[in-house]
Structure 1
């Protein structure tokens, strides 16, 4: 006699598969017409299906009713997704990108990231009660890196192709990938100060650990390991491809397998697997061979989409929703203030101020975009649970009652602030593009409606002045569609030597120069009904 087998495994598979199927049926409409990010949709569905909604996804039960097990699951899941995403982010960058764009990356990963950390920590210190400045800077370090997963949802798609120059898209991807791994020094500098200077008198030991364990072992070794593994993997795959030893399926999945290998091996030796994955992805496509070979294949974007949906569905279910308003030490109003002010002050002002020194940000308009779209996401959750794991070890030390209370308060504050910042970023950045589109379309629609109404009212049409060049009977020639920036041939956007596969003829170069005028002039020309750029026959 058949019986229902309603196990957790069957429920999770049904929910995940059903949601991917349902979302897939309307994915083009949602992402390319409504301009909503898949991360936001998955987060909302996770809330609806999680323990605070339909209770179909039950994270705590999967963790055997253990908060410690649940924290370990969250840490492992975020590590896995970040590792794969960062290798894919490194692979999609052009030939020798890190070497060609070192000036822009040095500014973004140096002064800009440092100011982001200090601003975030200062806001946490000012608004969250009971934390010392060192503790607040540790919390701020968790939300300092920009997220490569959410960044990809912003710089891909029809909106990005039309409105975001390709060089700006690439520098955002590169920065979000590199600064994830470089969040370690900021975080562990504060954690070591807290443990060895504030909870004990072993300052020298803490300083030594920071330089040896964090800077040399965790960061430097990760960079060297990523370079070696990425280069060896590239050479082996190239050799196997030349000798016809690898089939197409294995060729396409090679970068993903490389990410899994690095996450596992770095996890075993205790280095920064996040940074190693990004470095390995860049080295793996250093000569642009693999990127050009897989340019028209959709396996990597498909895996990227599945990981995005899965992890944000899980985040929606596992986030501490009930704790946001029920924690007496941190009122909800203060959390809301932190979420808003961090998004407004953490990144936009410093990028706008220093964009003159970042070669790849060429205008104030681009600086505003690069500053605003610095989302907080999976990388912040990763650093959150790294911090909780560190503080759990600190709790086991022989501490007095006040010190133990401070450690527990820091764990609670870090958990609530980081989760709330991530949720705020997913929501705000997820709905920003639709609001931009509404802001652009609504005035035009209202103007056209008013024009039709006045034309139908006798005598009223003449009250509205028209310029001679835009009279009622005149027909304005439509502007030619120059297409998205990435389809233009702009020699200034090409990093390094041009590969033979994409070599340009002199006619193509001249055509690229003719079409690559300034975007602001083009927009002003469209508003006036004519080009602002010099008229040329192309």
Structure 2
């Protein structure tokens, strides 16, 4: 007898396929008419399909009811999405963009990121009860980088093409790509100091000197510099090999189009093997790969890469909606919900806006204060924050004494789990709704004014049968001629070309003034005569011979 096979694989495939299909049917309407981001829609779908609602997506079952397995799945999923996104972000920039715009990028990635880190740390330190500033530095480092996935919803599409200048779009893409890979120094600065100085350095000797040594050698040299060198080498070799294969006609179109995504997967795997910064290596490789702009121009009209990107984004944010600790926001012993909400508002407003206003005069892509406000507000927190949260918890939970996680490390891990997830949700919702709400607010006064004016001053329609009784006793020809003369007195005069009656006789012009009309090419002078008057004269002179 046939029976239902309600296994997780079948349910997930049906749920994901059904959602992507339904979203595809109205995707243009959602993104180009209502300006809703696919991240927000996918997050809401993930909540609807999660164990909190329909229970179609069951993350705990996939992780075998192990919290460590669930965090490992989330970590690797975010690595995959970010790796592909960062290579594509590097590919879509013009040739030699990092070399040309290094001044603007150095300001955003240097003092810009440092100020965002410090501002976020101060807010978290102030809002979380009984929390040290060093611990706040670790939590704030997770939300310091701007997210390339959510940034794409701002710098792509109809709204961005109309309202965001192209140089501004490119600098946002470049910053969000580079700072995701540069989040490691901010994260491990606090982690190393906590490990070797927290609680008197219990279980770990060496003090602050060893912490700074490890931070310099392991983080800056091995993680950052090695990633830059490795990404440069892989990108350069990939470009040369693809040029050679294309010249020899060894590569087909499908393999050519998917080459950048294959580079992303290769770098993710190899950097994961040697334990270096795969995100930064992916972004650098994407830039070096299109150093001559050849690959970007060859694939600029192709939709394969955006399609794969969209599928990964939809899946990622559905997963976020399912695994987000929604209950912990209300039920926890760390931070009350009212403090958490106020924390989210302050982070979105203060984390990035002040430093962008301070630096915008030195960044030529930000021409006006309105541009500075846009760049300062749209610094989204998303997939990158969850990635660094997973990295932070992985290292913090390894700080153990006698087989147990040390108390201060456990406290930081618990606070980071709640605060970072809450800030991610706030950013997805606020930045996902900012454009449609802003457009609605901009158009609302004009719409209300139009409605009020129309309803107040528009006269009710008069039946046609009553028109002849309400007008004067003048004939239609006289009425038309009178209105015609009054219009002509308000218009400029110019030479009038001759007009002919139906019988080819010239119609004399009663006045030298004419009506000028505007055409698509230029201005043409054309006398406007009442239709009834012209027909009357034409019928009268039908018998006249042409001149």
Please indicate the TM-score interval, normalised by the length of the shorter structure: 0.7 to 0.9
Q: Does 1:123 align with 2:123?
A: yes
Change (3 A) 1:22 1:134: same
Q: Give the one of 216, 230, 255 matched to 2:221.
A: 216
Q: Does 1:435 align with 2:440?
A: no
Q: Provide, for residues 227-281 of structure 1, a one-character-per-residue CA deviation record: whole Å limited to 9, x for no partner.
A: 0000000110011001100000000000000000000000000000000000000
Answer whether contact 1:103 1:359 (CA < 8 A) is retained: no
- Shift in Å, 1:454: 2.8
Pairing of 1:268-279 with structure 2 (within 5 A): 268-279=273-284
Answer whether contact 1:130 1:409 (CA < 8 A) is retained: no
Q: Give the one of 373, 376, 382 matched to 1:371.
A: 376
Deviating more after overlay: 195-204 vs 416-425: 195-204
Partner of 2:401: 397
Can you give the 5+ residue segments of structure 2 that lack an aligned partner in the other structure? 461-489, 492-514, 522-547
Partner of 1:452: 454
Answer whether contact 2:198 2:408 (CA < 8 A) is retained: no
Can you give the 5+ residue segments of structure 1 that lack an aligned partner in the other structure? 459-467, 481-538
Partner of 2:532: none
Change (3 A) 1:334 1:84: same
- Shift in Å, 1:206: 1.4
- Shift in Å, 1:51: 1.1
Answer whether contact 2:39 2:313 (CA < 8 A) is retained: yes
Partner of 2:392: 387
Partner of 1:332: 337
- Structure 2 CA distance, aligned partners of 1:130 and 1:411? 14
- Structure 2 CA distance, aligned partners of 1:138 and 1:291? 38
Change (3 A) 1:191 1:30: same
Answer whether contact 1:32 1:158 (CA < 8 A) is retained: yes
Answer whether contact 1:85 1:148 (CA < 8 A) is retained: yes
Change (3 A) 1:274 1:90: same
- Structure 1 CA distance, aligned partners of 2:74 and 2:55? 19
Q: Does 1:67 align with 2:67?
A: yes
- Shift in Å, 1:137: 0.7
Coordinate RMSD, CA, aligned = 2.0
Deviating more after overlay: 447-456 vs 295-304: 447-456
- Shift in Å, 1:475: 12
- Structure 1 CA distance, aligned partners of 2:250 and 2:244? 9
**Large movers: runs of 4+ above 6 Å:** 474-480
Partner of 1:243: 248
Q: Give the one of 401, 415, 418 matched to 2:417.
A: 415
- Shift in Å, 1:196: 1.0
SS at match of 1:267: helix
Number of residue equivalences: 464
Q: Does 1:6 align with 2:38?
A: no
Partner of 2:497: none
Change (3 A) 1:226 1:448: same
